[in-house]
Each structure stands twice: as structure tokens, then as C-alpha cells.
Amino acid sequence: ESFQCLACRKEAHFSIEKPAMPQPVIAKSIASPSSVAHVMVQKYQQSMPLYRQEREWKEIGIPLSRATLANWVIRPAEDWLMPLVSRLQQDLLQQDVIHADETPVQVHKEKGRKNPAKSYMWVFSSGEYEQAHPIRLYEYQPGRSGSYAEDFLKGFNGILQTDGYTGYQKAPCHAHALCWAHARRYFIEAIPPDLPKEDLLGSICKEAIERINELFAIDKGLAGLTKEEREEQRLQLEKEKLEAYFAWLQDIELKVLPKSKLGKAVQYSLSHKEALQAFLKSGNAALSNNICERAIRNFTIGRKNWLFSDSPKGAKASAAVYSIIETANANGLNPFQYFKYLFEHLPNADIKRHPEHLDDVLPWNETIQQNCK
């Protein structure tokens, strides 16, 4: 633009900078941040499959096909959520304790495999006592090899808390901790269904369960302490009971059939003695892997409704969406509001050249906490 200065009659030039247009969630698509957020929350938090959402959209006069809705999940997950999940993974690997678990999932169109292929959704969670940065991450993989956990946890040097699956032995960590809820479950399952109540009262299973319950009761009372205080109290209140429990099992071992359910329950505790006592090494370790099992349960509820993923791309997108939903919930956020905020801001943040902008949308960021409740 140009104009003439009235005082000196000289021509001057200046430029008018047009405000940048907001970038869409999906290029060349009518999808808005709120509509994409709605589809994701409906499927992955409310467990509503896309075919039912398709019908719902049609009923309000918007004919969106299932394929379009699937694209509304996959493309934003790939472009905006997966980079954020990778950033969350960096934080998770720096924590003292990580919980891990895995569950089967059916995935179609797996290269070189017949439908339906049995694949796995892995879940990795921050520890029960992590308050500042609680994280829940899901990862789709085509199998259950321990190498998948090994790759995901590369660089981790804390305590890895799992069930008894041997594949986790490949994963890097300072110590492996096993779950006392699993140890207790073996004894619960060893109780004969037709056992009279009077016989149960004096049974080995009953005593084992009571001893384990006592450990949980003591530890529950330590929840409000600091890491250091919890470590000290555990050594004072629980170590002696642990020693008594394992000494008692050693006396019983010779009296039970090794291949019976009771024999297997006894063997599970004795053969994993070191890992079951690993929680004594850190006040941030827990007695159980329940925090991860709860995250798995949320996935399995949804799986009952949508049954399978139509492709590996869809399964990976599902993992990213579940990661953000569960991490949002763990940080007291409203998942819909958080998705909406992400899809309004990340497309305009140039995160490929400036990945540091992802720090501004982490769920514990003060701005996110203020805007996404």
C-alpha cells in the first residue's frame, strides 16, 4: 500500500499484515475441533462404535459415513496426538516407577497375517504415588514378545511393576516388582468351590489371603506419607511380616501337591520372592499392579462394543486416543475439552519444526489445567 505525506508531498509505503488463518484439524475437511473431539470421546470413553455414531449423525441431519468418522479419528491421531504421546513417553521414562500390562486385541488387515489376527494393546502407567505428572500410555503391537516392552522402555532405570509375565524380564529397569494382588488371586482360585465354610476358616488358602490382606492394610495407612517416610515405615512394619510369610510357605511347600492349584499358588510366591519384596526398595513402588489393570479394564470395556480394529493404522490411532483420554482423566481434565483445545492449538503450532510447543499442552500445564477442566 502507498500514500502521499501531505507535509512533504513524498510518497511513503507501508504493508498491512493479514492475520494468519487458523489451520484445520484435517486438511480439506469440514471436521471442526469440537466434532473430532466428540467422535473420539464417544468411541473411546463412552464405548460407542462408529456405526452407531454414523446413525446418530444421520438422525440430526448430517450424513457422515463410517469411513469419514474413522478418518476423523486416524488423521488427527497421527498428526497431533501421536507426537504428544511421544512427548509424554519421555516424561514417563524419567519417573521412579512404571507399571505395565497387556491385553489381546483383534486387528484386521495385518500384513502377512490372516483375519482376525490376535494382537496386543500394551499399557504403561506412572506409579500409584506419582502426583505431579500422572501418565497412562497405550501402545499397539502385533504380538506379545517382551521385545516390545524392551523397546518402549529403552532408557528407563527405575522399578518396573508388572504381573508374572516373563516377557517383561527383557525390559530395562533397576528392579522388577511383582503384584501382590496376583499372588493373592492364586490362593483365591485354589479354594474349592464346594468347600464348606468351616473348612475354609482353617485352610492354608484362608491364612495366606489374610496374611497378604494384612500387608495391603498396613500399606494403605502409609499412602499419605512422603516417599522417604513410606520406605522407613515399610521396613519397620512390613519387612518382618514378609519374612514370616515366606518362611511359612516354605514349611507348607512339602505338604501340598506341586501341580495342584494350591501348590501353584505357593510356588508363585516362593519363586518370585525377590520381586514381590522389591516394593521395599522405593517408597514410590506399590504393592500391586492395579493402577495398570484399571487402565486395561477401560480398554476391554470398549473392546466389547467395537470388537476389533479394522487396520493397524486404526489400532495405533486407538492407542493414541486412549493414551490422551486416560492421561487427561488422571490429571483431572475433561477429555472432550482437552481434545478440543489440542485440535484448536496444535495445527497452528508448527510442532514438526518446534516440538517444544508440545510442552505448552501437557496435561499438567497451568494453562491446560485452567481451560480443560
Q: Which three cell numbers stand for residue 153?
A: 522402555
Nearest to 81 by CA among 324, 327, 332: 324
Give the DSSP letter string of 76-137: HIIIIIHHHHHHHHHHHTTSSEEEEEEEEEEESS-TTSPSSEEEEEEEEEE-TT--SS--EE
Question: What are the boundaries of each domain within the chain?
Answer: 31-179+291-373, 180-288
Contacting residues for 244 by C-beta, under 8 A, at least 6 apart:
211
When pLDDT is averaged across residues 36-40 and rounded to a whole number, the result is 97
**pLDDT recorded at residue 70:** 95
pLDDT band for position 2 (cuts 50, 70, 90): very low
Q: How far is CA 239 from the centre of its chain?
A: 30
Q: What is the 3-state secondary structure (H, E, C) of 3-31?
A: EECCCCCCEEECCCCCCCCCCCCCCCCCC
**Res 139: pLDDT:** 97
- The pLDDT value recorded for residue 8 is 54
Segment 234-251 mean pLDDT: 96
First to last CA, the chain: 46
List the one residue out of 332, 92, 96, 91 whose CA is nearest residue 230: 96
Tell me the three state secondary structure of residue 162.
strand
Instruction: Kindly report the length of the chain.
Output: 373
Name the band, by pLDDT with cuts 50, 70 and 90, for residue 3: very low
Please answer whether residues 136 and 327 qualify as being in contact, where contact means their C-beta atoms are separated by less than 8 angstroms: yes
Q: What is the pLDDT of residues 287-340, one digit of tens each?
A: 999 999 898 888 888 787 776 777 899 999 999 999 999 999 999 999 999 999
Give the whole-number percent of the chain exceeding pLDDT 90: 77
Cell readout for 337 is 475439552
Task: Encode pLDDT of 199-216 as tens digits.
Answer: 655 689 999 999 999 999
Segment 26-53 mean pLDDT: 94
Local confidence band at 10 (pLDDT 50, 70, 90 cut-offs): low
Amino acid identity at 229: E
Distance in angstroms (rounded) separating the CA atoms of residues 161 and 282: 12
Phi, psi values for residue 356, rounded to 5°: -65, -20
pLDDT for res 369: 97
Amino acid at 236: Q
2 in helix, strand or coil? strand
Q: Report the pLDDT averaged over residues 337-347.
A: 97
Q: What is the pLDDT of residue 202?
A: 61
**Tens digit of each residue's pLDDT (9 = 90 or more) over 158-197:** 999 998 889 999 999 999 999 999 999 999 999 888 777 6
| pLDDT, average across residues 29-44 | 96
For the purposes of burial, counting CB atoms within 10 Å of the CB of 61, is it exposed (0-12), middle (13-18) or buried (19 or more)? Answer: exposed
Spell out the alpha helix ranges (H) of 145-196.
146-152, 180-189
pLDDT in tens, 97-156: 999 999 999 888 788 777 766 899 999 999 999 888 999 999 999 999 999 999 999 999
Q: Residue range 356-372: average pLDDT?
A: 97
User: What is the distance between the alpha carbons of residues 353 and 113, in angstroms, rounded to a whole number?
Assistant: 37
The confidence score (pLDDT) of residue 325 equals 97
pLDDT number for residue 13: 54
- Give the model confidence (pLDDT) of 60-89 as tens digits: 999 999 999 999 999 999 999 999 999 999
Q: Smallest Cα–Cα separation from 293: which of 146, 216, 182?
A: 182
